[in-house]
Amino acid sequence: MAFVLGKLVWLVLRPSSLLLLLALLGLFGCRLGRAWGVRLLAASLLALAACALLPVGQWLTVPLENRFPRPGGLPGHVDGVVFLGGGIDGAVTRARGLPSFGDTMERFAAIPELARRLPDARLIFTGGTAWNDRGADDPEAATIARFLADQGLPEGRVTLEDRARSTRENALFTLTLARPAPGQRWLLVTSARHMPRAMGVFRRAGWPGLEAWPVDYRTTGSLRLLAEPLASERLRELDEAVYEWYGLLYYRLLGYTDTLFPAPEGDPLPPSGA
């Protein structure tokens, strides 16, 4: 229930949609001759213009991406790696018969790369069916299986978890599969902006010895006043950044993480039973 509720709330809170809804509400107020309608319409249009022209989304993304810095190199010994799904275009994949990926392709490209660099490590990919992918017959894990076969990886090299629909389920289901022992060292691979929430959830689930290996960076790591003035790109960046901040808050309220903004410091927590 919490999973579906969170997705439905986000449909309304998505900044690009929310600002448009507020503008329409303000316009309705103007038609009624209400002063609040004029003020709401002006404020929402001004905010929409600012977010479309300024890199507000990047400003919000920078602290997310910088929270867990990428290590300078792989640790001397790695027992296993967990790769998070998210970003497979299921509709195009089904229509074209070929794996189709979105902007998070670096998550998936990291699988064959680390498979070669860590020949003795256990690899787990976790990804089920997206909640809004209607008509989907195959989970993300099935698409990844085809992708890895095309990359020349032998069947069974990567363990595929195909039920998880959320980051929390990623953590719970892979913990059951991997059964990591104390003292083992595991890497967690996901987009850099998603890493704080992912690390917080995996720690809360009870993963020991987990280290961040962020990929899919979208910013330079520093704040810039201006960016290429593409309104659609600016609004997309804003939606993606706010989604992660919203996810951090929502997961904290549900008790899926122990802090609002997880940090690299501190050891993973014992299982909570949540």
**Residue 96 CA neighbour count, 13 Å, CB half:** 10
Distance between CA 212 and CA 139 in Å, rounded? 25
**42 & 87 share domain:** no
This prediction has a pTM of 0.88
pLDDT given for residue 229 in this prediction: 66
CA–CA–CA angle 80, 84, 89 (5° rounding): 140
pLDDT given for residue 137 in this prediction: 59
**88 & 196 share domain:** yes
The DSSP code sequence of 47-88 is HHHHHHHS-HHHHHHHHHHHHSPPPSS--S---EEEEE---B
State whether residue 137 is helix, strand or coil. coil
pLDDT given for residue 267 in this prediction: 41
The rounded Cα 220 to chain-centroid distance in angstroms is 18
Q: Does some domain include residue 108?
A: yes
pLDDT given for residue 76 in this prediction: 85
Closest by CA to 203, choosing from 252, 240, 158, 236, is: 252
**147 & 234 share domain:** no
Exposure string (b/e) for 23-32, b if CB count within 10 Å is 16 or more? beebbebbee
pLDDT given for residue 271 in this prediction: 36
Q: What stretch of H or E contains 106? A: helix 105-117
pLDDT given for residue 136 in this prediction: 52
Q: Does some domain include residue 147?
A: yes
Q: What stretch of H or E contains 107? A: helix 105-117
pLDDT less than 70: residues of the chain: 1, 130-137, 227-229, 265-274
Give the model confidence (pLDDT) of 80-100 as tens digits: 999 999 888 888 888 888 888
Q: Does some domain include residue 49?
A: yes
Mean pLDDT for the chain?
A: 89
**28 & 75 share domain:** no
**23 & 134 share domain:** no
Answer for the pair 203, 255: CB distance below 8 angstroms, yes or no. no
Q: Does some domain include residue 268?
A: no
Q: Where are the beta strands (DSSP E) in the chain?
A: 80-84, 122-126, 158-161, 186-191, 210-215
Whole domain around residue 122: which residue ranges?
Answer: 69-218
**28 & 163 share domain:** no
